[in-house]
């Protein structure tokens, strides 16, 4: 099936094509070019790539009301941290319900894919899959202590790296760098993706760049847990593929607009770099054919209000969930509608 969407859109080079059109066939973008033609009228909106939240623990959503203020990383999420005590008092039903609501929020705020560290083995993965049933958001499930056939790869801590098998054909992602010395350990296991990287040395930045690793920064989580700041400027200058994640759902809202705004306000990086970290760099990190409005990629598209001025700056610094008016996944408009007045969210059906 073909659909032609008349809309202004962001190109892979981060320029805005005003009054252009996007052609979608079989869930993928087959053309994106200048000029309105006969098709669906989204003229009042800006089409941008669906965001990729490159690091979450959606399973933690049941405890999003818990107070983690003042706790260190180890006190919060370490082996004897508060997180695990909260899990002991939770039920499967509570966890699934909270994951479902939170996934709905992510999708309705413009995140079309998320890469999730899923704890608790096969059962943990089954809970996540149950929570996501019927919700179009795309998960990259990174399990641990689980069958590899059930997940897209492993999401590990430095104390659980024994699970890595030789010649694994799946993604290996490791939490490394909230504590000194972790990156050195993680690098020995030939990972694809490192999460956090706040305590990276100059040499580790160089090594990660040389090996073509991706690094997911979670700056709001790091700030809340006193884990320092990821060296984003140095990482980008070295050529590391840097992406962004919101980390534990019990500590942070999984809202990529908030994460981007925080980076804009606290780091020496440009709006374009921030937007790349939230979209195409995440796609690259996890081998996804998404993250840009470009021929051949999946039509995972978010329709926002159309800003009057610099769109890239507006998206990185000012846009929020309330500005998202429609969300398309694989060419299907999941949230919003069109017609005389074009996409409008009809209330959030998952929350």
Binding site for Zn ion (CB under 5 A): 247
User: What's the closest the beta carbon of residue 112 comes to Zn ion, in angstroms?
Assistant: 20
User: What's the closest the beta carbon of residue 66 comes to Zn ion, in angstroms?
Assistant: 16
Query: In terms of CB distance, is 180 or 289 closer to Zn ion?
Result: 180
User: What's the closest the beta carbon of residue 284 comes to Zn ion, in angstroms?
Assistant: 20
3-class SS letters over 306-343: CCCCCHHHHHHHHCCHHHEEEEEECCEEEECCCCCCCC
Query: In terms of CB distance, is 247 or 300 closer to Zn ion?
Result: 247
User: What's the closest the beta carbon of residue 247 comes to Zn ion, in angstroms?
Assistant: 5
Question: How far from 246 is each of 150, 253, 254, CA to CA, in Å?
Answer: 24, 7, 5
DSSP H or E segment with residue 48: strand 40-49
User: What's the closest the beta carbon of residue 315 comes to Zn ion, in angstroms?
Assistant: 25
SS3 194: strand
User: What's the closest the beta carbon of residue 345 comes to Zn ion, in angstroms?
Assistant: 29
Give the integer Cα–Cα distance in Å for 179 and 259. Answer: 22
Are 211 and 229 contacting, i.e. CB atoms less than 8 angstroms apart? no
User: What's the closest the beta carbon of residue 122 comes to Zn ion, in angstroms?
Assistant: 20
Query: In terms of CB distance, is 40 or 247 closer to Zn ion?
Result: 247
Other CB atoms within 10 Å distance of the CB of residue 266: 13
User: What's the closest the beta carbon of residue 285 comes to Zn ion, in angstroms?
Assistant: 14
SS3 217: strand
Residues paired with 6 in a beta bridge: 21, 41
Query: In terms of CB distance, is 262 or 350 closer to Zn ion?
Result: 262
Query: In terms of CB distance, is 247 or 259 closer to Zn ion?
Result: 247
What tokens does 210 get?
A: 């040389």
Query: In terms of CB distance, is 204 or 247 closer to Zn ion?
Result: 247
Query: In terms of CB distance, is 247 or 273 closer to Zn ion?
Result: 247
Q: Which of 54, 69, 14, 107 is nearest to 263 (CA)?
A: 54
Give, rounded to a whole angstrom, the gap between the first and last alpha carbons of the chain: 31
162: burial class by Cβ within 10 Å (0-12, 13-18, 19+)?
exposed
Query: In terms of CB distance, is 192 or 247 closer to Zn ion?
Result: 247
Query: In terms of CB distance, is 199 or 306 closer to Zn ion?
Result: 199
Pairing of strands 214-217, 28-34: unpaired
Torsion-angle region of residue 26: left (phi > 0), alpha (psi -120 to 50) or beta? left
User: What's the closest the beta carbon of residue 205 comes to Zn ion, in angstroms?
Assistant: 20
Q: Which of 278, 292, 284 is nearest to 12 (CA)?
A: 292
Helices 256-266 & 271-278 angle (0-180, nearest 10): 150
Q: Shortest Cβ contact with Zn ion: which residue?
A: 247
């Amino acid at each position: 099936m073909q659909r032609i969407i008349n809309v202004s859109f962001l190109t892979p080079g981060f320029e805005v094509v005003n009054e252009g059109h996007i052609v979608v066939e079989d869930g993928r973008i087959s053309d994106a070019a200048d000029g309105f033609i006969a098709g669906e009228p989204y003229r009042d909106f800006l089409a941008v790539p669906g965001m990729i939240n490159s690091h979450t623990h959606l399973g933690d959503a049941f405890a999003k009301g818990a107070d983690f203020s003042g706790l260190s990383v180890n006190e919060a999420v370490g082996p004897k941290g508060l997180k695990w005590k909260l899990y002991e008092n939770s039920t499967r039903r509570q966890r699934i319900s909270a994951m479902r609501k939170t996934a709905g929020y992510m999708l309705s705020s413009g995140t079309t894919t998320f890469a999730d560290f899923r704890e608790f083995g096969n059962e943990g993965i089954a809970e996540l899959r149950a929570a996501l049933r019927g919700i179009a958001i795309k998960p990259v499930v990174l399990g641990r202590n689980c069958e590899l056939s059930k997940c897209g790869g492993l999401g590990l801590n430095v104390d659980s790296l024994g699970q890595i098998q030789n010649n694994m054909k799946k993604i290996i992602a490791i939490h490394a760098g909230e504590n000194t010395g972790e990156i050195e350990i993680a690098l020995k296991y030939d990972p694809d993706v490192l999460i956090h990287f706040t305590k990276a040395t100059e040499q580790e930045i160089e090594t990660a760049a040389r090996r073509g690793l991706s690094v997911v920064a979670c700056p709001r989580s790091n700030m809340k847990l006193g884990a320092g700041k990821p060296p984003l400027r140095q990482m980008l200058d070295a050529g590391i593929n840097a992406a962004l994640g919101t980390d534990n759902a019990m500590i942070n809202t999984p809202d990529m607009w908030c994460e981007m705004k925080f980076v804009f306000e606290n780091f020496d990086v440009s709006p374009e770099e921030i937007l790349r970290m939230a979209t195409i760099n995440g796609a690259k990190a996890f081998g996804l054919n998404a993250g840009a409005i470009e021929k051949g990629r999946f039509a995972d598209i978010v329709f926002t209000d159309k800003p009057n001025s610099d769109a890239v700056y507006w998206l990185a610094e000012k846009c929020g969930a309330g500005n998202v008016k429609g969300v398309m996944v694989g060419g299907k408009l999941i949230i919003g509608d069109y017609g005389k007045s074009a996409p409008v969210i009809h209330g959030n059906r998952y929350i």
